[in-house]
A and B are shown apart, each in its own frame.
Chain A
């Protein structure tokens, strides 16, 4: 059974800092890995999708990496802003569409 762990559970940084969120998974036989953002009381917004054959994806200030062999992914956020404050969720697909989610990292960026 796939298990997904996110560290840290919460993170508070001053505006402008670069930061890294971590995601680890136990079963390396994955289809893809997706990072989401969830704002309070809202659904999930897809940030980046990394296919199992890829090592990283970039979108603006976000960069996600994937190391299947070690069961790890990181989400790097450059030059953080208060608007980045949210919960970030990592989800791993071991079978088409069946995602296992981590518990998330709650990020607070202080002005």
Chain B
């Protein structure tokens, strides 16, 4: 198991600004992921955060819009850049402690863009 802390838990931002979301895990994990959950919808994988190298993005998501850092095995950040109202979503960090083990999620960051 793993305990995941996400900050901030929620924010309201102005159009055109950027916000960085932090994800801290209480133990070293092999895999960290970032998901988006748009209102009334299920989760969509944005990218896999790779330790010490560039993140691996899914189709429809690009580094310029969602830059990700993962400086070590317990921490990652996701930045939502140049925000528009369409970016209003819950952003969730998840981890896999080891291959084949359950994924664990943080409580998410609820983001609203005015």
> A residues near B, CB below 8 A?
31-32, 34, 36, 41-46, 49, 51, 89, 91, 96-104
Contacts and interface: CB of A to CB of B under 8 A. Distances in A.
B99 A44 contact: no
B34 to A, nearest CB: 12
Interface string B19-55: 0000000000001010000000111110010000000
Contacts of A43: 4, 6, 92, 105-108
A98 B48 CA distance: 8
A27 B102 CA distance: 20
Residue in B33, B103, B108 with the greatest tally of chain A CB atoms within 10 Å: B103
Of all A-B residue pairs in the complex, the 10 with the closest CB atoms, nearest first, are: A44-B105, A43-B107, A43-B105, A97-B31, A49-B102, A46-B102, A101-B43, A101-B42, A103-B42, A43-B108
Contacts of A36: 105
Given A32-B100, A43-B108, A97-B33, 20 more contacts: A42-B107, A42-B108, A43-B92, A44-B92, A44-B94, A45-B105, A46-B102, A49-B101, A49-B102, A89-B42, A91-B103, A96-B96, A96-B99, A97-B31, A98-B45, A99-B43, A99-B45, A100-B45, A101-B42, A101-B43
A41 B4 CA distance: 16
A49 to B, nearest CB: 4
The number of chain B residues touching the other chain, given as a range, is 20 to 34
A96 B96 CA distance: 9
A62 to B, nearest CB: 14
- The secondary-structure label for the interface of chain B is strand
Nearest to B106: A43
27 contacts: A34-B102, A36-B105, A41-B110, A42-B108, A43-B4, A43-B6, A43-B106, A44-B43, A44-B94, A45-B105, A46-B103, A91-B43, A91-B103, A96-B31, A96-B96, A96-B100, A97-B48, A97-B96, A97-B99, A97-B103, A98-B45, A99-B33, A99-B43, A99-B103, A101-B42, A101-B43, A104-B42
